[in-house]
Structure 1
Amino acid sequence: MELGVGAARSGYRLEHFEDLGSTNDEAAARVASGDPGRLWIVADRQSRGRGRLGRVWTSSTGNLFASLMLIEPCARPAAPQLGFVAGVALADCLRNLLGGDRRLALKWPNDALYDGAKLSGLLLESLGAKTFGCVIGFGVNCVSHPDDTPYPATSLRAIGAAVSRAAVFAALSDSLAQWLDVWARGDNFATIRRAWLDVAGGLDAPARVQRNGNVMEGTFRGIDAHGRMLLESHDGKMDTIEAGDLSFAAPLVVR
């Protein structure tokens, strides 16, 4: 497992483990220990992998489990933008590996889907009271995928893509380094937003959002200048949503 050439030249580092509880937990421990950041943690296996909203992330051998730890990447209020930077980098990386296949899309906020099935997930965590650290965790289904997910899942192998997890990681590390530079510590989120909308699935499609036990229905209109979901209700009201589970009434539309 190696960093991409661009990431290595930009000063990113890599530590590779056979077994970890969680790459995000290991990266968080490095924040607490005073590590200077720009550190990738990659594991062959995880015993306590997790996804958004506290869900368990199935960690089958052969898939990619990687977390990037950053120190003081931006002002604290801008930290949620990192999820969109990471999502754009992931989609850019995977589309390139798949020859530009536009069936690869993002579902808000940052799940990577292929033809409507989940190929990858992402977990962003902010840490530290004094030293501000952020951890961006990626799980990419390279050779296998779970069957017990809220909506269909798939893997690179299942869609016929002969791409190794080492190749995915090298490309991802380069892509994320590039898009972090574009983002410019939050000064250029407008460009990230445009790039995110270009790879978003389900734009202008009927959608449903579950949050706090409630269900909202309407039309998915993308994201606002802060990354919040825009959901237009049936009476024309535009709601902005910061967190929730998004699903589509019909198969996800990829532009």
Structure 2
Amino acid sequence: MTQSNSECPAPGAPDFRYEAHENVGSTNSLCFERARSGHPGRLWIRADVQTSGRGRRGREWSSPAGNMFASLLLVDPEPADRIGELPLVAAVALAEAVDKAAGTLQLVKLKWPNDLLIEGAKLSGILLESETLAGDRQAVVLGFGVNCVSHPPLSLYQATDLRSLGYQVSAESLFGSLSAVLAEKLAVWRQPEGFRSIRKDWLGRAAHLGKEITVRSAQQEITGTFADLDERGHLVIQQADGRQRTIYAGDVFLPGV
């Protein structure tokens, strides 16, 4: 791992700190190293290249130069009983950051829980991980990977990148937008009813709302109409018999995919 620059205020979010690296194994893993060493959190780590990037469910995440790789460390984020809402907070923030950096409006749609889509193709990945530290402190890391200039072939989904769509957005400029927007969204989320606003913003970008979808998990596969998000951000689907089911985890696909 190369040496980082010293910590400095994060772009557009002076209450957060920021480290920049040329090459790391994983920005998420480095955040956890900082947490175990006693860092108080609110720390961004960004890298030009990751050699061991990972996605949800242990999948590999391709991390070539030119794309954006950044992770945010939060220690004991409050409210602790609503940490499960953070993936949707992160998705809304990243979608707005892409619009801000690209000069677009509602360019990005959201696929539950936190994938960004443009014209049905996957633009990014968001990975939330947590770990209990010494003294019962809770480290939560939000990791972001965004295809700015290139995209890998994916076995499960079609992928895309901003440059191939005609948008010239550097990893650095996108990170600056994300740092500022996510600080604002976290401040909203911490309010007693703050997730209502986040949920509304998420649904405003929902890619498959009202459409038939299939949700696959390790245990089951369920098909129905994407009806809503519940008050905690879980997926609500209506099945053919009219019954509604709440889905807490899984991968969303369109029928036939």
Q: Hey, what does 1:205 align to over in structure 2?
A: 211
**Correspondence for 1:194:** 200
Matches within 5 A, 1:55-204: 55-129=59-133, 130-184=136-190, 187-204=193-210
Equivalent pair of 2:10/2:17 in contact (CA under 8 Å): no
Aligned equivalents of 1:5, 1:29: Cα separation in 2 = 22
Residue 17 of structure 1 corresponds to 21
- Bigger drift between 92-101 and 136-145 goes to 92-101
Q: Per the alignment, in what secondary structure is the counterpart of residue 12 of structure 1?
A: strand
SS at 1:222's partner residue?
strand
Q: Distance in 1 between the 2:179 and 2:115 partners?
A: 18
Q: Which residue of 2 aligns with 1:40?
A: 44
Amino acid paired to 1:52: R
2:220 matched to which residue of 1? 214
8 Å contact 2:12–2:177 — kept in the other structure? no
Aligned length: 249
1:204 match: secondary structure: coil
| Residues in 2 aligned to 1:61 and 1:46: alpha-carbon distance in whole angstroms | 8
TM-score (ref. length: structure 1)? 0.92
Q: Contact 1:40–1:68 at 8 Å: present in 2 too?
A: yes
Is the contact between residue 150 and residue 163 of structure 2 (CA under 8 Å) also seen in structure 1? yes
CA contact (8 A) 1:32 1:128 kept: no
CA 1:34 to 1:186, structure 2 compared with 1: closer, same or farther past 3 Å? farther
Equivalent residue, structure 1, for 2:234:
228
CA distance, structure 2, for counterparts of residue 4 and residue 171 of structure 1: 10
Percent of paired sites with the same residue = 44
- Which one has more relative contact order, counting CA pairs under 8 Å at least 6 apart? 1
Q: Unaligned 5+ residue runs, structure 1?
A: none
Q: Give unmatched runs, 5+ long, in structure 2.
A: none
Q: TM-score, normalised by structure 2?
A: 0.91
**CA RMSD, 1 decimal:** 1.9
